[in-house]
């Protein structure tokens, strides 16, 4: 189910990336060197500076059907006409059809949003944030480094769910699943499961490390 504001359909240039999932509100730096994508970026810079980022599915040999719109907020050209750009994630979208494939993909897309929550999500978001804090604390203890969460971490449930999802490294398929969810509570609950599993794993390693250190004293 999508809200009425997400029914709007538009054409969007598409940029597939292997093992990269962009989320709303999150930055994505890119180095543009392929000729077709240099053409694409030059065209985008003359319009609204927006394009779609889709994770390239290696197994199926095609891009995912759900991605995130990126807006170019900074760019610089190198002497050999390559580009370094910094983008920021905007709305999510679903590809309805491909308008063209060359020189780069352009898709007909619809915007998608989370369904309105049926309950207050603040307690769940608070629990997930605490799990995240536990994981950071245990990681720091295990590596003997001081690790702190950035002060800019969002506290609103939807934004927090995107922030956590974007920081799950090495699991692009899991990130893609979280991106496609249109239920904030379900996304936060899945993240709670992932963080709980990580916390328990780190806690066990910390106990083992402490035991070995005590034995060697």
Q: What is the arithmetic mean of pLDDT over 108-114?
A: 96
Which residue's entry shows tokens 């969810």?
Answer: 181
State the number of CA atoms in the 13 A half-sphere of 45 facing the CB. Answer: 16
Rounded to 5°, the CA angle 179-170-180 comes to 10
Q: Taking phi first (over 0 means left), then psi (-120 to 50 degrees means alpha), and beta for anything else, what does residue 49 get?
A: left
pLDDT band at 169 (very low <50, low <70, confident <90, very high): confident
In terms of Cβ atoms closer than 10 Å to its own Cβ (0-12, 13-18, 19+), residue 85 is buried
Distance CA 205, CA 108 (A): 48
User: What is the distance, to the nearest Å, from the Cα of residue 93 to the centroid of all Cα atoms in its chain?
Assistant: 13
pLDDT of residue 214 exceeding 60: no
Residues 6-42 pLDDT 10s = 458 999 999 999 999 999 999 999 999 999 999 999 9
Considering the domain 4-112, what is its CATH architecture? Answer: Roll (2.30)
Answer whether 22's CB lies under 8 Å from 117's CB.
no
Q: Please state, as a whole number, how many other Cβ atoms lie within 10 Å of the Cβ of residue 88.
A: 16
Closest CA to 154 of 96, 89, 205, 200: 89
Distance CA 172, CA 195 (A): 16
pLDDT at 148: 78
pLDDT at 217: 59
pLDDT at 6: 42
Closest CA to 12 of 57, 47, 38: 47
> What's the mean per-residue pLDDT of the chain?
90
E strand spans, 78-176: 83-100, 106-112
| Segments making up each domain of the chain, as ranges | 4-112, 122-216
Q: What is the arithmetic mean of pLDDT over 83-112?
A: 96
pLDDT of residue 90 exceeding 60: yes
Closest CA to 191 of 97, 105, 128: 128
pLDDT at 140: 86
Q: Hey, which of 100-104, 168-172, 178-182 has the most confident mean pLDDT?
A: 178-182
> Which pTM was predicted?
0.88
pLDDT of residue 184 exceeding 50: yes
Give the H or E element holding residue 166: helix 157-166
């Amino acid at each position: 189910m999508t809200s009425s504001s997400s029914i709007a359909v538009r054409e969007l240039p598409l940029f597939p990336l292997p093992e990269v999932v962009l989320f709303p509100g999150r930055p994505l730096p890119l180095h543009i060197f392929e000729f077709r994508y240099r053409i694409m970026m030059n065209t985008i810079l003359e319009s609204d500076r927006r394009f779609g980022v889709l994770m390239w599915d290696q197994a199926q040999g095609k891009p995912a059907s759900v991605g995130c719109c990126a807006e170019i907020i900074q760019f610089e050209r190198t002497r050999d006409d390559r580009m370094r750009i910094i983008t920021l994630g905007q709305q999510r979208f679903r590809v309805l059809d491909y308008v063209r494939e060359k020189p780069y993909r352009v898709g007909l897309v619809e915007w998608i949003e989370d369904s309105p929550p049926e309950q207050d999500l603040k307690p769940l978001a608070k629990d997930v944030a605490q799990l995240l804090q536990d994981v950071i604390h245990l990681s720091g203890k295990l590596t003997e480094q001081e690790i702190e969460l950035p002060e800019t971490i969002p506290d609103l449930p939807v934004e927090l769910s995107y922030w956590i999802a974007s920081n799950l490294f090495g699991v692009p398929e899991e990130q893609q699943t979280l991106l496609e969810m249109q239920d904030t509570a379900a996304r936060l609950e899945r993240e709670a499961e992932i963080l709980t599993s990580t916390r328990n794993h780190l806690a066990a390693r910390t106990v083992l490390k402490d035991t070995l250190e005590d034995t060697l004293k």
